[in-house]
A and B are shown apart, each in its own frame.
Chain A
Amino acid sequence: MAYILVERVFKSFRWPDGTLLQVLRGVSFETKEYSITCLLGPSGCGKSTVLNIIAGLERADGGKVEVKGGDTPSGGPCRLGYVFQDPRLLNWKRVDENVAFALKGMGVPKGEWGPRLARYLELVALSDFRRQYPLFLSGGMRQRVGLARALAVEPAVLLMDEPFSKLDQLSARRLREDTLSICRKLSQTALLVTHDVEEAVYLGDRIVTLAARPSVVAAIYENPIPPADRSWDDPRFIEFKKEVLNSVLSVAVEKSSA
Chain B
Amino acid sequence: MPATPPDRALGELELAEAAPVPAQRKGSLGEALERLLLGAASVAALVLVWWLLHLIFGTMLMPDPVATIREVLAILLSGTFLVEMAASLRRVLVGFVLAMVVSIPLGIAMGTLRRAEGFFQVPMILGLTVPGLIWALLAIMFFGLSEVSAYFAVAITIMPMLAINIWQGAKSLDKDLMDMSNAFQTGIPSKVMDVILPQLLSHILAATRYGLGLAWKVVVVVEIFGFSSGIGYQIMRAFNLFSMKSVLAWAITFLVVMIFIEFGVIGFLEARATAWRPKAEVWRR
Contacts and interface: CB of A to CB of B under 8 A. Distances in A.
Nearest to B187: A105
Contacts of B194: 90, 93, 101
- Chain B contact residues: helix, strand, loop or mixed: helix
Interface of B: 176-177, 179-187, 190, 194-195, 198, 273, 275-278
A135 B277 contact: yes
Interface stretch (A79-87, A173-181, A243-251): A79-87
A138 interface: no
A92 interface: yes
Interface string A151-167: 00100000000000000
Given A101-B186, A101-B190, 8 more contacts: A57-B183, A82-B184, A105-B184, A105-B186, A107-B185, A135-B276, A135-B278, A153-B184
A219 interface: no
20 contacts: A52-B179, A55-B183, A82-B180, A82-B183, A84-B180, A88-B179, A88-B180, A90-B194, A90-B195, A91-B277, A92-B198, A101-B181, A101-B190, A101-B194, A104-B186, A105-B184, A105-B187, A106-B184, A133-B276, A134-B276
Contacts of B276: 91-93, 133-135
Interface in A117-176: 133-136, 149, 153
A56 interface: yes
Interface size class of A (residues with CB under 8 A): 20 to 34
A117 to B, nearest CB: 15
Interface of A: 52, 55-57, 80, 82, 84, 86, 88, 90-93, 101-102, 104-107, 133-136, 149, 153
Given A84-B180, A90-B195, A104 B277 contact: no
| Residue in A101, A106, A107 whose Cβ sees the most chain B Cβ within 10 Å | A101
Contacts of A135: 276-278
A56 B185 CA distance: 10
A84 B178 CA distance: 13
Contacts of B187: 105
A24 B191 CA distance: 31
Contacts of A134: 276
Contacts of A133: 275-277
